[in-house]
A = this chain, B = another copy of it.
Amino acid sequence: MYVLIVYDVEEKRVAKVLKFLRKYLNWIQNSVFEGEVTEAQLTEIKMGLKKITNKEQDSIIIFKARNQKWLNKEIMGKEKNPITNFLD
Q: Which A residues form the contact surface with B (CB < 8 A)?
A: 4, 6-8, 28-32, 46, 49-50, 53-67, 70-80
Contacts and interface: CB of A to CB of B under 8 A. Distances in A.
3 pairs of A and B residues whose beta carbons are closest in the complex? A70-B70, A60-B76, A55-B77
Q: How many copies does the complex hold?
A: 2
Contact of A30 (B8, B56, B63): B8
A63 to B, nearest CB: 5
Contacts of A7: 29
A56 to B, nearest CB: 6
Nearest to A78: B59
A64 B72 contact: yes
A71 B71 contact: yes
